[in-house]
Amino acid sequence: MQLEDKELLDLFRESSTKELAFTAIIKKYQVKLYWHIRKMVISHDDTNDLLQNVFIKVWKGLDNFREDSKLYTWLYRIATNECLTFLEQKKKKGSISLSDEENGLENMVKADKNFDANKLEWKLQLAIQKLPERQRLVFNLRYYDEMPYEKMSKILETSEGALKASYHHAAKKIEQYILSS
Amino acid sequence: MEKKGNILNNYFKKDSTFKLDHNIVLPYSIPSNYFDEFYIRLLQKINHHKTTNNNLNQVDYFIPDGYFNKFSELILKETELLEEEDITDELSRIAPIFKDISKQNVYQLPEGYFEKDIETKKLNTSKVYSINNKSLVRWTIAASFIGIMFIGYFLVADKDSKEINNKQNLAFSKKNIDINSSIKKISDDDLTKYINNDYNYYNDDTVILDDVTVPDIIDKKIEAVSDDDLNKYLSDAATLTNIKKGL
Q: CA–CA separation, B9 vs B39, rounded Å?
A: 9
Q: Rg of chain B's alpha carbons, rounded to an integer?
A: 62
pLDDT of residue B206 exceeding 50: no
Please report the pLDDT score of residue B92 as a whole number: 84
Contact between A56 and B106 using a beta-carbon 8 Å cutoff: no
Work out the average pLDDT over A103-114.
83
Please report the pLDDT score of residue B59 as a whole number: 57
* pLDDT per residue as tens digits for the range B98-147: 888 888 888 888 888 887 655 555 555 444 455 555 667 788 888 888 88
pLDDT of residue A90 exceeding 90: no
Please report the pLDDT score of residue B70 as a whole number: 75
What does the mean pLDDT of chain A come to? 89
Q: CA–CA separation, A179 vs B79, rounded Å?
A: 33
The predicted model scores a pTM of 0.51
Work out the average pLDDT over B198-223.
58
Most A-contacting residue of B79, B82, B122, B127 (CB-CB within 10 A), to test interface = B122
Beta-carbon contacts of residue B20 (< 8 Å; ≥ 6 apart) = B26
* pLDDT per residue as tens digits for the range A45-67: 999 999 999 999 999 899 888 88
Quickly state the pLDDT bin for B161 (edges 50, 70, 90). Answer: low
Lowest mean pLDDT among A83-87, A89-93, A119-123, B28-32: B28-32
Share of chain B above pLDDT 70, in %: 47
**Closest residue in chain A to residue B87, using alpha carbons only:** A146
Measured between beta carbons, which residues in chain A are less than 8 angstroms from residue B132? 89, 92-93
* B49/chain A closest Cα distance in angstroms: 41
* pLDDT per residue as tens digits for the range A20-32: 999 999 989 999 9
Please answer whether residues A153 and A159 qualify as being in contact, where contact means their C-beta atoms are separated by less than 8 angstroms. Answer: yes
Beta-carbon contacts of residue A136 (< 8 Å; ≥ 6 apart) = A39, A40, A128, A129, A170
Please answer whether residues A103 and A95 qualify as being in contact, where contact means their C-beta atoms are separated by less than 8 angstroms. Answer: no
Q: CA–CA separation, B247 vs B245, rounded Å?
A: 6
Select the residue of B94, B108, B119 nearest A26 (Cβ to Cβ).
Answer: B119
* pLDDT per residue as tens digits for the range B2-54: 555 565 555 555 544 445 555 555 566 667 777 777 777 777 777 776 666 55
Give DSSP secondary structure letters for A119-155: SHHHHHHHHHHTS-HHHHHHHIIIIIS---HHHHHHH
Measured between beta carbons, which residues in chain A are less than 8 angstroms from residue B79? none
From first CA to last CA, the distance across chain A in angstroms is 46
A56-69 residues labelled b (16+ CB within 10 A) or e (exposed): ebbbeebeeeeeee
Lowest mean pLDDT among A106-120, B10-24, B34-48, B168-182: B10-24
* A66/chain B closest Cα distance in angstroms: 23
Please answer whether residues A92 and B133 qualify as being in contact, where contact means their C-beta atoms are separated by less than 8 angstroms. Answer: yes
Q: CA–CA separation, A71 vs A92, rounded Å?
A: 32
A44 versus B215: the higher-pLDDT residue is: A44
**Closest residue in chain B to residue A160, using alpha carbons only:** B82
Of B27-31, B122-126, B186-190, B240-244, which has the strongest mean pLDDT? B186-190
